[in-house]
Chain A
Amino acid sequence: GNSVTQMEGPVTLSEEAFLTINCTYTATGYPSLFWYVQYPGEGLQLLLKATKADDKGSNKGFEATYRKETTSFHLEKGSVQVSDSAVYFCALSRDNQGGKLIFGQGTELSVKP
């Protein structure tokens, strides 16, 4: 079946540090891949997405590249801020399954000043 695996958290970084959160997936065919962010007490917000191999999604300084050969979609940011502290979820969807999202377990990021 389809599944998503993320690196375990929590991840604690100092402000301006480089961020990588690993995500790998298992799926048949060509899923779309997403990163969602959840701030405390809120719902999930789409951070970025990629719909085909070698696509790069980017938003607010975050980037992730759809790597079919390694079935990965790692999230990166060159310089994190305290305001980036949140839980990050990697997810995939298949259009022939109603586009339902399958999430990884989430990675909590804490950025210290």
Chain B
Amino acid sequence: DAGVIQSPRHEVTEMGQEVTLRCKPISGHDYLFWYRQTMMRGLELLIYFNNNVPIDDSGMPEDRFSAKMPNASFSTLKIQPSEPRDSAVYFCASRKKAGGYTFGSGTRLTVV
């Protein structure tokens, strides 16, 4: 079991550029979550999917953020255009129904 795999581990981009973060959940997990971690706001839930369907996106900060899950083994979180205040660590996590969470190692995004 390779766990939840996120890529890239680190991303540095210029303000205004598009950024795409990727996540491969654990096979057989029904739920996928995207979290953002910053010093100021701690860990915030951005969006979660159940069986590839977005269920709650109320945490997505604004229209510049979008997330997709085209199949059970892949999800993306896209920021377009990126801004310096988007700098954070973005975590993906997956779980089975009534099961425990497994978190990925995160993507550290820096927007300059």
Contacts and interface: CB of A to CB of B under 8 A. Distances in A.
A98 B49 CA distance: 9
Bin chain A's interface residue count.
10 to 19
A47 B106 CA distance: 18
B42 A99 contact: no
B50 interface: yes
A89 interface: yes
B56 interface: yes
Interface stretch (A15-23, A63-71, A76-84, A100-108): A100-108
Given A43-B106, A46-B100, A98 B43 contact: no
Bin chain B's interface residue count.
20 to 34
Contact of B42 (A46, A95, A104): A104
A98 B106 contact: no
A43 B56 contact: no
A27 interface: no
A41 B6 CA distance: 13
Interface of B: 4, 31, 33, 42-43, 45, 48, 50, 55-56, 91, 93, 95, 97-98, 100-101, 103-106
Given A43-B104, A44-B103, A100-B45, 8 more contacts: A43-B93, A44-B93, A46-B100, A89-B43, A98-B56, A101-B33, A101-B45, A104-B42
